[in-house]
Amino acid sequence: MAQGVMDYELEARYERYRGVLKNLTIMSDVFMRNVFKKRECTEYVLQVIMGRKDLKVLDQVLQKDYKYEHPECWAGF
């Protein structure tokens, strides 16, 4: 494959992902889950929020999804 074609495909993929990412914020659930998979990212955000550069995350548990076996029990919520 010619280098020009590869560059074009890479640029097209970059623009497609850029379009998706521009609508995400750190508060977007999907984005947040992926960012916070890395302990270092969680640490950094907490350090900024709390104003403490010495803060270290020892352990973390990401949000878990639960599938309900009986969704009719949750009707009306």
- The domain in which residue 46 lies consists of 3-74
The string of pLDDT tens digits covering residues 33-57 is 888 889 999 999 899 989 999 999 9
Q: What total of structural domains would you count in the chain?
A: 1
In degrees and rounded to multiples of 5, residue 50 shows phi and psi of -90, -5
- Among the residue ranges 10-14, 26-30, 31-35, 51-55, the one predicted with the least confidence is 26-30
Q: How far, in Å, CA of 22 to CA of 14, rounded?
A: 12
pTM given for the model: 0.49
- Residue 64, pLDDT > 90, answer no
HSE toward the beta carbon, residue 26, CA cutoff 13 A:
8
